[in-house]
Chains A and B, each alone.
Chain A
């Protein structure tokens, strides 16, 4: 499969979500060679999942809307058709865009050389047919998206406890319920979206526990004045919850998940201003699945590796790639768009992708001041800058709404697992910090936290907040997460093909 791709491209876009698609679309048809790389078997990123459902992959087209009702059409997010048409447009032969997926970018080396693991189309990227390849690009755009973050609780490692995103993928992409009876907890606006989707498909939502008090939430409403469509969306979700009489607990966090083989129940409790659970406020629900999330963090492993400067700002969701108004990073020839440069949602990704695309067209001389289309180009660009500002203010609001009180991280119970990969508990981390291991690197050496398979993607943002809560040290002082190639797991046999072929035949051949 690697053979149909070039070794060098004018532009490489990493991530085919809304941001990456938007950038690729802006650059397409201008005589540039562009490669769009994504680790998922479909395009569209996390946002467009429901519109690239399996049957659409099978038939090769976009899935027809499932009996879209009038209300759905009126209230539907305008970003969905926008993103879908971008995906269609860049897929057209002759667009100049080579689409490489599923393909895992493992690292970025000097001069924008991209180290990639590819697999057979539709298969696992790390499977038996996996291959390594390298692409060099004149310009590199990171559109690596975001992941969720969490406030750990006892039992969050039980099977059946999952991220809000995982539950949404099941419902939206696969039309499979995450369980027969689901609890939803956290501080993220995704909670409402998930509850809505589950109820719409006759799933059962036992309880929705929102960490924020109702009063606090109402106090945020005026800030939404500039973002009316989000208010309408929220009202629609709320109406669905009311109609189905779902129990909503405000000011409650999940205290523990219970179960033997898998989750069978969950306890929720009120927390005081200091982040401690208030005794006597425990409430138990019997559930077979639990979806949790406390906001989002940008995926910056690759930008960090490429030498892009990153900044820490809670309004951006934590560490994010630092960019100028044209989405250019501090590294030569490298841009970052969408969540990579700060959490802000689908519209921000769309706008920033276009801004980066236009800046690159200018940089590569594809558009010049004396051309007839220059005036329109400049005008469009100014409109986009303005839209980007509005999106940024929504992003800041979104991140504020997800935020968990800092004190909550100080009082995580000792027996709670923090690093899921290495099974490191809060007790171990607290002890290590007490003994002076209070930097990221020393804490890793002392406890192995953050050194497992996920490479601190899940526990990293948590540990950063624990360190701040326990020692008062700001993330800026602790420094951004370290990132080295390969950023994701790969089979050793790919690095040592000779061994693979001779002494150690692949496991597959041992079991014909």
Chain B
């Protein structure tokens, strides 16, 4: 990641750690999985049957493009799921 996408001056919730494909990632309480992954520059979240990458599109729970595996439960919307400390995210499930 080349640039910090989290706006530096902003107040945030408590710092927590989630893992994304086994790699630890810092997130903040109250953030959605979509927000935490975007901040880390992780855009492709799943692939289609024809192996194209897809990422979050509508951001508000309508389009189902941002499906990821959350704590081993597949097909969860990253944009509607709030991060919790220790949460395990798998992309391209």
Residues of A within 8 A of B (CB): 39-41, 46, 53-55, 57-58, 63, 66, 102, 122-128, 147-148, 157-163, 165-167, 169-171, 173-180, 201-202, 261-263, 420-421, 423, 452-454, 457-458, 488-489, 506-508, 510-511
Contacts of B29 in A (CB 8 A): 54-55, 58
- What per-residue 1/0 map shows which CB atoms of B56-93 lie under 8 Å from chain A? 11111111110100111111110111101000000000
Are B61 and A39 in contact, CB atoms less than 8 angstroms apart? yes
Main secondary structure of the interface of A (DSSP, over half): loop
> Which A residue's beta carbon lies closest to that of B49?
A423
How far does the Cβ of A467 sit from chain B's closest Cβ, in whole Å?
Answer: 21
A-B contact pairs, 20 of them (CB 8 A): A53-B30, A58-B14, A122-B82, A122-B84, A126-B77, A147-B62, A162-B56, A167-B59, A169-B35, A173-B35, A175-B6, A176-B5, A180-B3, A180-B5, A261-B53, A263-B43, A420-B65, A454-B63, A458-B63, A507-B73
CA distance A127 to B82 in the complex (A): 11
Known contacts: A170-B35, A174-B35, A458-B62. The answer to whether A161 contacts B73 by CB under 8 A is no
CA distance A171 to B39 in the complex (A): 11
Are A54 and B76 in contact, CB atoms less than 8 angstroms apart? no
List 4 additional contacts besides A261-B43, A488-B61, A511-B72; criterion CB under 8 Å: A57-B30, A166-B79, A169-B59, A507-B74
Contact of B32 among A63, A157, A174, A488 (CB under 8 A): A174
Are A458 and B5 in contact, CB atoms less than 8 angstroms apart? no
CA distance A157 to B62 in the complex (A): 15
Known contacts: A159-B45, A489-B64, A508-B72. The answer to whether A39 contacts B80 by CB under 8 A is yes
> Which B residue's beta carbon lies closest to that of A58?
B13
Contacts of B5 in A (CB 8 A): 176-180
- What per-residue 1/0 map shows which CB atoms of B28-58 lie under 8 Å from chain A? 1111101100110001110011101111111
Known contacts: A63-B11, A126-B76, A173-B35. The answer to whether A159 contacts B62 by CB under 8 A is no
CA distance A39 to B6 in the complex (A): 26
Are A262 and B58 in contact, CB atoms less than 8 angstroms apart? no
How far does the Cβ of B10 sit from chain A's closest Cβ, in whole Å?
Answer: 3
Contacts of B12 in A (CB 8 A): 54-55, 175
How far does the Cβ of A476 sit from chain B's closest Cβ, in whole Å?
Answer: 24
Are A128 and B65 in contact, CB atoms less than 8 angstroms apart? no
CA distance A53 to B10 in the complex (A): 11
Are B59 and A170 in contact, CB atoms less than 8 angstroms apart? yes
Are B44 and A423 in contact, CB atoms less than 8 angstroms apart? no
Contacts of B49 in A (CB 8 A): 423
Contact of A421 among B7, B50, B64, B74 (CB under 8 A): B64
How far does the Cβ of B12 sit from chain A's closest Cβ, in whole Å?
Answer: 6
Contact of A58 among B6, B30, B64, B65 (CB under 8 A): B30
Are B73 and A128 in contact, CB atoms less than 8 angstroms apart? yes
> Which A residue's beta carbon lies closest to that of B64?
A453
CA distance A166 to B34 in the complex (A): 10
Are B30 and A165 in contact, CB atoms less than 8 angstroms apart? no
How far does the Cβ of B33 sit from chain A's closest Cβ, in whole Å?
Answer: 9
CA distance A128 to B81 in the complex (A): 12
CA distance A66 to B11 in the complex (A): 8
Contacts of B75 in A (CB 8 A): 126, 489
> Which A residue's beta carbon lies closest to that of B40?
A176
Are B53 and A166 in contact, CB atoms less than 8 angstroms apart? no
CA distance A157 to B75 in the complex (A): 18
Are B62 and A454 in contact, CB atoms less than 8 angstroms apart? yes
Contacts of A40 in B (CB 8 A): 60-61, 80
Known contacts: A54-B28, A420-B65. The answer to whether A147 contacts B81 by CB under 8 A is no
Are B13 and A166 in contact, CB atoms less than 8 angstroms apart? no
Are B57 and A166 in contact, CB atoms less than 8 angstroms apart? yes
CA distance A242 to B19 in the complex (A): 41
CA distance A178 to B56 in the complex (A): 11
How far does the Cβ of B89 sit from chain A's closest Cβ, in whole Å?
Answer: 12
